[in-house]
Amino acid sequence: MQGLWLIDGNDSQYEEVGKFTRLLEHHWWQLFSEAVYKADKRRQEKLRKPRELPLEDDLSTLRRHCQEVIQELTQCQYRIFDAKVFGHLRAAIVTRLTVFNACRGSEPAGMELTDWQAGEKGEWIDPQTIHHVTTEEEQLLRRLKLVYQAGKGTKDMIPVLVPEDCVVGIRRLIEERVHCGISSHNKYVFPYCQGSLDHVIGWHEIRRMSLEAKVAQPELITANRVRHRAATVHASLDVGESDRDAFFKHMGHSKEMDTRVYQCPLGVTEVCRVGKYLEDLETGKVARG
């Protein structure tokens, strides 16, 4: 809508454009609701097909490549950073965080410096509860840092778990900002260079690293598809209700949304379990007691 204001002319022209903009906004849903519904339906139907999920081998290849880039660019403390090196390390970390957390593309990319500082210090982990965790859980608490970001609403908080292989890379990005054209007023951990005040776009970073890693089907590795994969695999697991609730909370949606939108239809389960039951019911192998 804002683009409509970018015209040359006098105040009356701007006023007419403003009236048109307000009119269009007022009738937007009435005019375009059906088109939006159909587009969303086609999108969800396509994404929910199992063959639209990213290949597991591709995700493994991408993870290894991101880890190798992070290690290569951070292992030498005397490496000279410029905007190109900064951008390469930034892309590897954003991709790693987005895929690991099954986040929306804009979420880890929009992490703010204050978010990271709180997570790095462990401010979201209650030290009194650590004494009551298992050995495996204690190791997880050591390997992963928990960062919370502000969500779309004022009350929403988005959790981002940061694997230990990303920690040194994030610290290095923050250290090298002053040498790479990052504005002192930019509040983001993953900023654009050249004095910009914005953060990078997750989709671009994932695309860049997928092509660089030479995965077989880079077009399937997107934030949305990774979220569908995470929801689909989790739905097939035999886990307790509390674990499922924790997963839904991490994903930022309800159980109903998970089932209706993000999960792929569990075809194998449908055929092998439900189909077997219906066959047994039909042939009398199971019956009412």
pLDDT of 111 reads: 96
Please compute, for residue 229, the number of CA atoms within 13 A of its CA located in the half-sphere on the CB side: 22
- What's this model's pTM, rounded to 2 decimal places? 0.74
pLDDT of 273 reads: 57
- Per residue of the chain (289 residues), give pLDDT as tens: 444 434 444 455 545 655 666 777 777 777 777 776 666 555 555 555 656 889 999 999 999 999 999 999 999 989 999 999 999 999 999 999 999 998 888 899 999 999 999 999 999 988 887 777 888 888 888 899 999 998 665 457 888 999 999 999 999 999 999 999 999 999 999 999 999 999 999 999 999 999 999 999 999 999 989 988 888 877 777 778 888 888 778 887 655 655 554 444 444 445 555 676 666 765 778 655 4
pLDDT of 137 reads: 85
pLDDT of 105 reads: 84
